[in-house]
Every structure is written in C-alpha cells, then in structure tokens.
Chain A
Amino acid sequence: MTSQPSIDDLLTPETTVASGRWAFLALFGGAAFWLAIAGVLGLIASIQMHAPTLLADCAWFSHGRLKAAAAGAFNFGFATQAAVAVTLWLAALLGRSTVKLGFISVIAGKLWNIGVLLGVAGVMYGDGSGFEHFEFPRYAVGVLLFAFIGLALPVFVTFHNRSVRELYPSLWFVVGGLFWFAWLLSTAGLLLHAAPVRGVLQAAVQGWFANGFVTLWLLPIALAVLLYLRPALSGAVVPSRATVLLGFWSLAFIAPWGGIPAGTPLPSWVGAVSTSMSSLLLIPSLAMFFSLGGMKRPASLDSFGVISWKLADFSFLALVLFGVLNTLNSFAQVYQITQFTLVTPALKTLAIYGVATTALLAAVFQILPKLTAPCAMCSRVAWLLSLLTRVGITVVVLALLLAGRAQGFALVNPETPFAEVTAASSWWFKMSSAGDLLLMVGGLLFLAYVTVNIFLSLKREYTVCEWCHAGAKPAEVASLTTVPSCFSVRSSHCCCPGSV
C-alpha cells in the first residue's frame, strides 16, 4: 500500500499557483493591459506640461481628461486588479490551501475590466465626475462596486479554507486591505455619486477616499507582499511579530484619519486632526523598517528571485522614505510651502508606484514563472522591466519633488509673477517626462511579458493532476499519475482517487 502524501508535501508554491492559474492569468492580463494604457496616457499628459500644444485640438486628449484617465487606468485597472490577484495568491500560499472559486475571479475580473473601460472612456469623453482622484463616472463606479464583490469573494473563501489556523502577518494586511477597500469604494460611491453630500463636504469625502486608497488599500497589500517575500527570499524570519502587530494596528487606526489638508475650507479642526494623524504614519513605516530591515539577499536565488528581491528592496526603501517625507510634509511650516505644488503628486507617486507597484511586480515574478516552463527570454524581459520601473519611479519622484520645491518657494513669494512660478518648474517637467517615458516602456514590457506568459501557460500541457503532486516524492508521483482529479484542502491529505 502506498502511503498518502501529506498536504504539506503537495502544496508547494508551484501547486498553489497552478490551482488558480486561470484567475492569475486573467487578473494579471487585465492589469498589464491597463498598466500599458496608463503609461501611454500618462506620458502624453506629462509631455503636455512642457509642450501644451500637443493634441490640444482634440477634446478626448485634453490635459485634464488625460491625467484623470491615466490615473484611473493605473489605480483601478492595474494596481487594484494586480493587488486582488496578489491577495488571492497570499491567501492560498500562506493559508496552505488551493485557490478556491477561481472561476469567479475570472468572471469578476472581466466585469472589473468593463468597469475600468467605462471609467476611462467616460473620463476621456467628458463624463468625469469632477472629484479629483475619484473621477470615474457613476455608471463605472457602480460596475466596479459590483465586480469587487466577485473579486474579493474567492480570496475570502480561500482564506476560510486555509489549513493553517495561525495567521501569518501578511494575511492580516490582506484581509484588512480587502475590507478597507470595500469600505472606501462603497462610502465614496454613496456620498459622492448615489446621495451626494453638499458643498465642501465633498472635499472631505474625496480627500478621505484618495488618502485611503493609498494608505488603506495599496500600502497594506504592499506590506503583505514585503512581509512574505523578504523573509521567504532571504531565508530569515520576521524578528518580531509584536512589532508587525504594532505596524498593522497603527496603520489601521491612523490611516482613516488622513487626507484632508490643513486649510481646506472645512471646520478647522478637521484639517488639524487629519494632518496630525497623517504625520503619525511614520509609526507603521518604522515598524516595518525594524521588522524587515537588515535582511540580506542570499547568493542562491534564481533569476526571478533576484528580480523580485530587488523590487521588494526598492519598495521597502520607498516605504521608509514615504513615511519620513509624509511626516515632514505634515509640519505647518513645510506644508504652507508645499500645498498646491507638485510635492503632493510626488508623495503620491512615491507611495503608489514606489511602494505598491514595485511590491506587486515583485509578487508577479513569483507567481507567473511558476505557471510556465522555464523561459530565458522572460527573465531578461523581467529584468529590464524591473530596472526601467525602478529608474523611472526614481526620476519621476525626484523631478516632481524638485519641481514642487521650486514652485512652492515661488508661490509663497507674492512678488514673484505667476509666469515665473511655472517657469521655475519647467525643466523638472521635462525630467519627469523622461521618467514617465521609462515607466511607459516598462508598462509595455510588462504587457508583453504577461501576454507571452499567458501563451506559454496555455501551451503547457498539464498531465492529469500534475500540479496536484508536483511537490510529491518520486515514488508517490509514480502512484498518482493516472488519477483524474486533484485534492481538497479541507482534508489534510491528497484526495486524488487511487492514491488512497
């Protein structure tokens, strides 16, 4: 009688990914498409900053619409979709479960993409909502809300089916992030679209949403990735669960208060409280610094391991830098200069691109290669994409920070004519466009990479139950090759018929 391989033998990272391959391919495919679109639209909008006549005679491509469409395509099309895929992966991997209800992810992913398409096309057509950072029209938001239920459901079911009861810290952030994003999207949809609050209260809602989208959705997912990847790749363990716990709860308590700048025409306590709480975001940043700092890259990593490590390293450094700069920017003396300048988008870019996007890409390069046969060209493309992304983000953030600094000092001096205020930043706009060009090329490479992976994955012929026992020992594999189905994670053993 053949002994049963235990679930611990069978659920390797490869089998976990294989169990949800359609979901991962669909979600990353959609994300890659929107990243490329966002890159192209963002680059045109960026060039228009120093070449204002570019496409000026075409309403669809006017600067404001392009900027809003690019941000929507990136935030909802790429970042959110990739983040959901990553949460699904982490829920399965760290809960030692297969991916459950993957087909719902695929369907909901398609619906989500329709929502994003409606949003981007609506904004470019002139149907934008007018709410900065939440510009998709109401019909698109409705579709997104509905689709998100479908996207989140498989993650929660997979999480519920985990065989490891004690939660790895990444899962705190995964579950928290999904709940918070649902809260943000539904509240903003309700108070800005369905039953709009009046007057200046809209500023409170849109500021709260824009801040929460970064600090309560993308940052938690990025932290979940970092908390898993850095220890997993380096072979170290997270030194202090208590410190990570402090990071989690401080983020959960502090982040919802931010996003409303001092001086916003609301009761003055609102801006004061919001700014003070924003400055405290340094606490979760420092908690992560002490938890994940000091881990070294081992020499034994494969090519994708090295790429993921570099991206995760960049994300980690960007996180700490964001915490410090965000706190500095909360001081009244600094904020009086930086308000209404490009420092605000610089910090947002640092968080969304520097922290979240690099962490998401680091995860992608741990997921997709496991679905395909080894592909030498793929790792070279991934290496180039990783390099372009890191350099592009650095150039854009630096250019926007320096442009914002020049702009801020010129703005607070009333003797400086306004034409000189914009002239002070013009060189930095060109530098920012150079960074955007790198990011756009990176986006196109990512689309190419994911497309090739989808084809390679489809071409790969899985033998019956192959991924089921990919982690089993050779003797066990021999006994399982003829079985027709896979395993259920509820049991602690492989349930492939014939193996029992």
Chain B
Amino acid sequence: MIVIPQVQLRDLQPAKNETTGRFYPVQRLGLARQGAEVYRANACYACHSQQIRQTGYGFEAVIEKGGNDPDALAAALVRVNREWSVDDAALFGEGDALELGPIDLRRKQSIEQTLDKAKIGDLEAKIRFDFIPEGPDIQRGWGLRASVARDYLYEDTLMLGSQRLGPDLSNVGARLPNRDWHLLHLYHPRATVEGSTMPAYEFLFEKRRQGETPSPNALKLEGDLAPEPGWEVVPTADALALVAYLQSLKVTEALYEAPATVAVE
C-alpha cells in the first residue's frame, strides 16, 4: 500500500500547459511557504480538507464559431434538440453554451454525428465540447476538478484533512483572492461569514496604539469590533504568512489525469 504507489509516483513531474507555457504545480516560496508552517502549527487541517471529490463528468456544447450561415446553423441545431424551433436556435450566437445541460459521452458522440451530417463544417461554424467535471464539491464552487497526486507534488507536509467542519480549501486562493477578507475572517470569522463556527484566531493579531500614521496593514474594523480611538489591530507576521498561504492554494489547471475545460487567463 505504500511501496507500490511510491514506485508508481516517484517520477511524477509538473505538467506543462502547452497553451500558456506555464508549469503546474509550482513550488510555494517566501511568505506563502512560511504560511504553510502556520497552517501546520495550528492544525487547521483538523477542520478543513484540501481535496476535491469528483463523482463523474459531463460535456457542455458551446458555439465557438457562428459560421457564415446562421439559418443553416439554426436548422442544424434543431436536429440536435428537437424541442427547439428554428427561431429558438437562431438566437444562439458565438460563445453561447447550448442549453443541453451536462451531457454524457454517448450523447456527445450522437450530437457530433448529427452535426457532421448537417455539415456544419462547410458553414465554417464550430461547436466546441467543454469537459465538465461533476460532483457536489465542484457544484459548490470549491474546485474545478478532482484532486490528483500531481496537485500535491511540492507539498512539504501534506495536510489533506479528513473533516469538513469548515469548507474545503484546495482552491480557496482562486475563489477568495482578497487578502483583507482573509485577515478579517481570521480575526473575527463571524464578521465575514454569518453563523461561522470557526474560532477567532485573535492571537495572530496585535492590538496596539496607532503611531503618527495608521499602519497600512491595520484591519478596517467597524461597529463592536472597532478598537478604541487611537488604537489599531494589525496582523502579525504569522497572520500575513497564513493568508499568503491561503491565497496560494489554487487549482486552476486541468491535467491529463484530471481533465476539465479551463478558461485560459
């Protein structure tokens, strides 16, 4: 159970995105790397997982190119879905996802055959099929696709977590990129998420007298949370590092072993 996976995975390397030329994953450096140590020290993995589950996959059809004959394309699309009228189909334009819902592989192949028979290639129209991973975690917006071994290639200490008393964090850097939001959430979780059961990590902050000018890092606190006049709450180095780590948690690339259609930035 340990030796064979070790043999299988020992040569695993980062993947290169042929479109952007970027490698994924990349090593975590600097403040984010220090933040991983803060995450470890406070055992944040006791409540948060870093692992996206995928229950299946589907496809979504998108009109990539409208072609030179919209009426002919509309007629072809009606063959794909007989519930549409030609007038309905004529409303679809470039970039529109056809309202088919996620479809399975068999349905995708059947649609492709139908479109081939309608010779949409001759119209210079093109319909693209996006690969859509499915599952509650993905539908919640926690991640793009299933987590795979390559995602953790550069983790010094793997903290997958086994509980979801808080939400999954594997892609939190992409879905919640705002540094100030994270700082406020750490200082007083219920200020950002109503009903949150996360403990406040007040020891990661320092309440101190304001200097001549307020600290640029001082939290913008309002209401009951606001400190007395002349005082400010500033994050410690640990808090800043932890937030940098959380911002670094991003799974935005599709991989050969975990396909997904991803918009290229």
Contact = CB atoms under 8 A, between A and B. Distances in A.
B40 A411 contact: no
Interface in A188-207: 191, 197-206
Contacts of B194: 419
A65 B43 contact: yes
A484 interface: no
B197 interface: yes
B149 interface: yes
B29 interface: no
A266 B5 contact: yes
B163 interface: yes
13 contacts: A53-B199, A62-B42, A130-B159, A199-B158, A201-B2, A208-B1, A257-B1, A259-B1, A265-B149, A266-B9, A407-B164, A411-B164, A412-B136
A413 B1 contact: no
A9 interface: no
Contacts, number: 170
B164 A199 contact: no
A197 B53 CA distance: 24
Interface in B84-105: none
B129 interface: no
B46 A199 contact: no
A419 B122 CA distance: 52
A123 B198 CA distance: 20
Interface in A219-270: 256-257, 259-260, 263-267, 270
A38 to B, nearest CB: 16
Given A52-B198, A418-B167, A266 B149 contact: yes
Contacts of A208: 1-2
A267 B5 contact: yes
B213 interface: no
A256 B1 contact: yes
A213 B193 CA distance: 38
Nearest to A197: B6
Contacts of A54: 199
Contact of B163 (A62, A205, A336, A340): A340
B2 A205 contact: yes
Interface string A110-127: 000000000000010011
A130 B5 contact: no
Interface of B: 1-2, 4-6, 8-9, 12, 40-47, 49, 51, 53, 55, 136, 139-140, 146-149, 151-155, 157-167, 189, 193-203
A419 B163 contact: no
A426 interface: yes
A259 to B, nearest CB: 8
Give the 5 A-B residue pairs with the shortest CB-CB distance, closest first: A64-B43, A126-B41, A414-B139, A130-B40, A130-B157
Contact of A336 (B1, B46, B55, B165): B55
B146 to A, nearest CB: 8
Interface of A: 48-50, 52-54, 56-59, 62-65, 67-68, 123, 126-132, 135, 187, 191, 197-206, 208, 256-257, 259-260, 263-267, 270, 273-274, 336, 339-342, 344-345, 407, 411-414, 418-419, 421-423, 426
Contacts of B49: 340
A68 B41 CA distance: 11
Given A199-B154, A205-B2, A52 B148 contact: no
Contacts of A127: 41
Contacts of A201: 2, 5-6, 9
B140 A414 contact: yes
A265 B147 contact: yes
A197 B202 CA distance: 34
Contacts of A64: 42-47
Contact of A203 (B42, B160, B199): B160
Contact of B162 (A202, A265, A273, A344): A344
A407 B45 CA distance: 18
B201 A191 contact: no
Of the listed residues B41, B155, B195, B202, the one surrounded by the most CB atoms of chain A closer than 10 A to its CB is B41
